[in-house]
Amino acid sequence: MCSLCDEGKPQYHSGSRRNFLKGAAATGFVAATGLPLFAVRPARAGFEEAPQDSGRPGRRYVIRGGSVMSMDPQVGDFAEADVLVEGKKILAVGPNLNAGGAVIDATGHVVMPGFIDTHHHQFETALRSFLADGILLPDGTPTGVINYYQYILQTFAPVYRPQDVYINELFGSLSQLDDGVTTVHDISQIHHSPAHSDAVIQALIDSGRRAAFGYFESAGGVAGNQYPTDAIRINKQWFSSTDQLVTMIMGGEVYLPGYEKAWLIGRQLDLQVAAHILSPFGIRPTLDLLAQGKGGDSGTLGLGPDNLFVHMTGMSDMAWQKVKDASVQVSLAVPIEMNMRHGMPPILKMQSLAMEPSLSVDVECTLTADFFTQMRSCMNLQRALVNQMILDSASSDFPTPPPETPTPLTTRDVLRYGTLNGAKALRLDDKVGSLTPGKEADIILLDTTRINVAPLNQVPGAVVSLMDRTNVETVIVAGKVRKWKGQLLDVDLPRLRNQLEASRDYIFSAAGIPQDLFRSN
């Protein structure tokens, strides 16, 4: 028997969604989320319907006449072409495709792969903008700048209930889906109990979006949490199939005691092992040991192609070389790194080693999860650094770049970071990241006729330098249309927003933090 069940707090002990929701009802989970979560798509006069049953096996449709940017050098780009989809797969890309089935008119649109966010703490959605003026760690002064570690991880996170986890994860997922981000690595440091973990996974599944569930620690060290050993149950219960939208990544923060156990469990389960690697928390010496194959208590842990490291600020040249040699994936969250004192984003260091990052959002309590912002920020920072290097090298008004000056990033570079590189970082590049026949159809249609973009002159430049979420008109995940004509389908957003606000009110109250709409620090 379960002691929590005996106490009148029913827990989730089955892989069945029905049993999960039945148990959740007794704990207030259903009441908090107001199931059913998704409403029938609204009928509107003149509203052209999306292809019915899109994503169903055998269902075929063609995306016709768009400016196709495949992100696959072998497929190429087309000023005007079609993308043929059957079920969840891309069948063909090219001009004038002859195929039966429905037609999505992409005239005046860019057709490209969905964006891929390789590091996002979605459980914090209800805390959006709370830490807009904040930094990562306490600054050592009595009235210092409000900081993430003290408030988000140590004060807010420990009071989350499973129903708070669920609505935060679901709303955050839908918000990014609306922005054209079809895949996320959700680092959910909110695993206070198995019910919390199951709520994360259920929300990711219910969102209908592709996701890598990042099983990290219980923020605040809540008593009774079963991290990291519950990974074995979670993997068996939720991830027995390789053909599903949601996969699993093992979190193992090297600044926490006992990280070795998490790494070993992750590798035993053949999962990626991810960690935040950055200047604070005294991580540099630990990474140096891992780079030399001397990590962990036994001195046998090392780096491998199964590792995904986030930030990588302030690390030694030796560790960087070993990271490259071991084919470790690196995710940069450039706006957050610059804003919250994580250290200088190491984009120039990666260029010097002929490495490329993926891009990630990190935390919405400080900055937007909009992926156009991620791409622009990465490009702007790198070019600012390179341009200043060139200006500092000579007194001429037209200086020649000195030898070995890094090449300025282009819009196509950061588009690659935000799509194909993201897929590689999450070991999903055989499925998504480019419009390649045989891959799954994670596709976005971006409107180039809107007032912020027209007239279209250069596709990569328009996407990176001009667009925002208002240009994301259609979003398709595994062949299924999820956003159509600028509107998420089958989602009752007002109801979900009310539930998120109720969760926010509870979290602030339970944490003892007053809600002050005009607090500036």
Instruction: Flag whether the pTM goes above 0.95.
Output: no
The 10s digit of each residue's pLDDT in 283-332 is 999 999 999 999 988 888 999 999 999 999 999 999 999 999 999 999 99
23 falls in which pLDDT band (50, 70, 90)? very low
- Listed residue (71, 67, 68) closest to 417, CA to CA: 71
48 falls in which pLDDT band (50, 70, 90)? low
pLDDT at 37: 54
Which residues, 6+ apart, have CB-to-CB distance to 387 below 8 Å?
408
pLDDT at 513: 95
Cα→Cα distances 451→58, 295, 447, 485, Å: 38, 54, 10, 16
pLDDT of 460 above 90 = yes
pLDDT of 519 above 80 = no
Q: How far apart are CA 173 and CA 170, in angstroms?
A: 5
The 10s digit of each residue's pLDDT in 72-121 is 999 999 999 999 999 999 999 999 998 778 999 999 999 999 999 999 99
Pairing of strands 307-311, 272-277: parallel
- What mean pLDDT, rounded, does the chain reach? 90
Q: How far apart are CA 506 and CA 124, in angstroms?
A: 13
- If you average pLDDT over residues 34-59, what whole number do you get? 63
pLDDT at 298: 81
The rounded Cα 43 to chain-centroid distance in angstroms is 32
Proportion of the chain in helix, strand, coil states, percent, rounded to 5? 35, 20, 45
The rounded Cα 401 to chain-centroid distance in angstroms is 36
Beta bridge partners of 328: none
Q: How far apart are CA 221 and CA 217, in angstroms?
A: 8
392 residue type, one letter: D
The 10s digit of each residue's pLDDT in 127-147 is 999 999 999 999 877 777 899
- If you average pLDDT over residues 21-34, what whole number do you get? 40
Stretch among 55-59, 301-305, 335-339 having the lowest mean pLDDT: 55-59
C-alpha angle 30/36/37, rounded to 5°?
90
Using the structure block, give the residue that is written with the tokens 């940069």: 332
pLDDT of 245 above 70 = yes
pLDDT at 395: 72
How is 70-98 classified by DSSP, letter by letter? Answer: -S-TTT-EEEEEEEEEETTEEEEEETT--
pLDDT of 355 above 70 = yes
pLDDT of 171 above 80 = yes
195 falls in which pLDDT band (50, 70, 90)? very high
Fold that domain 115-422 belongs to in CATH? TIM Barrel (3.20.20)
- If you average pLDDT over residues 210-236, what whole number do you get? 96
Which sequence spans correspond to the domains of the chain?
3-41+491-511, 60-111+433-478, 115-422
For domain 60-111+433-478, is the CATH number 3.30.70.20? Answer: no
